[in-house]
A = this chain, B = another copy of it.
C-alpha cells in the first residue's frame, strides 16, 4: 500500500505562537485537496522513550503527578529525548534514573505518535528484561514512586483508572501478547 497523494495538504504559512521548555505551538494555514484553506494547530515535541521493563515476571511502573490531569498516574518509566540523544541511550538513562535498574540490552517494540491530530510527539517503546539493580537518580523536578506489578494487577489498575495513559496500556497489551503468543507481536 502506498500513500494516497490526493489527500495531501499544502502548507501556505506557519505562525509561531509559543516556544516553551518542552513544547512549542504553531498555527499552520493549509490548502486542502479541494482548494479551500484551513488552519491547523500543531504542537511540536522533542519525542520521548518508554520501557516495558520486566523483572521476575512483574512490570516496573512509576507513580507520578501529572499536572495536565490534576492527579497522580501509574505509568511505565518514560522520559523526553534530550538534544542529540539516541532513543536507545535515552531509555537506558531513564530506566536507571527512575527505577534504579540497569539494562544493557533493550529491544525496540514500536515507535508511535501519541496524538497525530495536533502533535508530532513520537514515543519509542522498548522492552527490557534481565535487569540489574542499581541506584535511583530522578530529575530535580521529578518525584515518583516505583513499584512492580503482575499482568493481572496491571489490568486491575487499567480498570480502576490508576493506569490510564496510552503508552502504559500499549505496554500491558504488548506484554500480554508476548505471554500468549511467545514473542513480541509489533
**Interface on A for B, CB 8 Å cutoff?**
1, 3-4, 6-9, 11, 17-18, 20-23, 25, 27-28, 30, 32-34, 36, 38-43, 45, 48, 63-69, 71-75, 78, 80, 110-121, 123, 140-141, 143-145, 155, 157-159, 162, 164-167, 169-170, 173-174, 176-177, 180-181, 185-186
Q: Contacts A166-B167, A167-B166 given: A4-B72 contact, CB under 8 Å?
A: yes
Bound Cα distance A18, B19 (Å): 12
Known: A11-B67, A20-B39, A115-B119. 12 other contacts (CB 8 A): A7-B145, A17-B18, A17-B25, A18-B18, A43-B43, A66-B116, A69-B113, A69-B120, A73-B116, A113-B165, A173-B177, A173-B185
A21:B3 contact, CB within 8 angstroms: no
Instruction: Name A's interface SS.
Output: mixed
A8:B173 contact, CB within 8 angstroms: no
* Cβ-neighbour of A177 out of B17, B116, B176 (below 8 A): B176
B39:A116 contact, CB within 8 angstroms: no
